[in-house]
Every structure is written in structure tokens, then in C-alpha cells.
Amino acid sequence: MKKILVLCTGNSCRSQIAEGYLKYFAEDKAVVYSAGVETHGVNKMAIQTMLEDGIDISNQTSNHVDEYLDIEFDFVITVCDNAKEKCPYFPVKSKIVHKNFEDPSKFVGSEAESKERFRESRNQIKAFCRTFVSDYIL
């Protein structure tokens, strides 16, 4: 079984969404964790946006990357440039995969515009996760 860590800045939106989709697409073929170089709590809009697509991430937690330094991951996926730059050293065995996604929580606009930004990010992350699982896990 593959072990995957999704790493982001605050472990509140993008990495949480990716964790949800990777678990969904990989089913029982991978153990998926997410963490941040900081912890900001799981974003409520991320939870709502994922529920719209039938995936409940409300029980996921916001964790700091230091909590997982003793786990030998097969893959470390960085989903933002900041996390890639601050990514701690992982053993050579870990394959590092990077894909930068814009942070929807940083968007400034109306509530409707904000929801749409979260949906756009969710859909981009979903497509990435589907491809990642197809290429590396299945």
C-alpha cells in the first residue's frame, strides 16, 4: 500500500481537498495524509465545496508537517509553491510531485464569487488527483 503526503502552506484548503480526492480515487490502495508548513484549521468553505461533490472532509484535521517526519512516504505532493520551497527533507525513497494551485481562501470578492473560486480550485485539484492516482497508484 502506497503512503502519500499532501503538503501545503496552512493545511486548510488545497491540501485538504487533495487529501479527500486522493482517498476517494485510490480507495484502499493508498494511505493519504495532509499537512502544512503551518496549520490554519480546515477551511469551512473547503468542506462545503467538497460536500457539493459528495465527499465529506469535515473529519480531516489540520496537521503540521513535523508530525509526519518519521513516516516513509512513497509520494510527497506539494500543492503550492510556498510548501515546495519550505518542504522539509524527506528520504530519497519519497518521490516529490509538485503542482501549484491558487489558494481560493485568499480571493477577495463577494460570497458568490468566493464560492465559485473554491469550486474552480476544487475541480482543478480533482482532475490532478484523478490523473495522479491513475498514473502512480492503480
Catalytic center residues: 8, 80, 87
**Residue 90's pLDDT is what?**
60
Q: What ranges do the domains of the chain cover? A: 2-137
Task: Check whether 38 has a pLDDT greater than 80.
Answer: yes
Task: Check whether 51 has a pLDDT greater than 70.
Answer: yes
Q: Can you tell me the distance from the alpha carbon of 28 to that of 91, in angstroms, rounded to the nearest whole number?
A: 24
Task: Give pTM, 2 decimals.
Answer: 0.93
Q: What is the pLDDT of residues 61-118, one digit of tens each?
A: 999 998 998 899 999 999 987 766 666 656 557 888 999 999 999 899 999 999 999 9
Q: What is the pLDDT of residues 10-35, one digit of tens each?
A: 899 999 999 999 999 999 999 999 99
Query: SS in 3 state form for the chain?
Result: CEEEEEEECCCCCHHHHHHHHHHHHHHHHEEEEEEECCCCCCCHHHHHHHHHCCCCCCCCCCCEHHHHCCCCCCEEEECCHHHHHHCCCCCCCCEEEECCCCCHHHCCCCHHHHHHHHHHHHHHHHHHHHHHHHHHHC
What kind of fold does domain 2-137 have according to CATH? Rossmann fold (3.40.50)
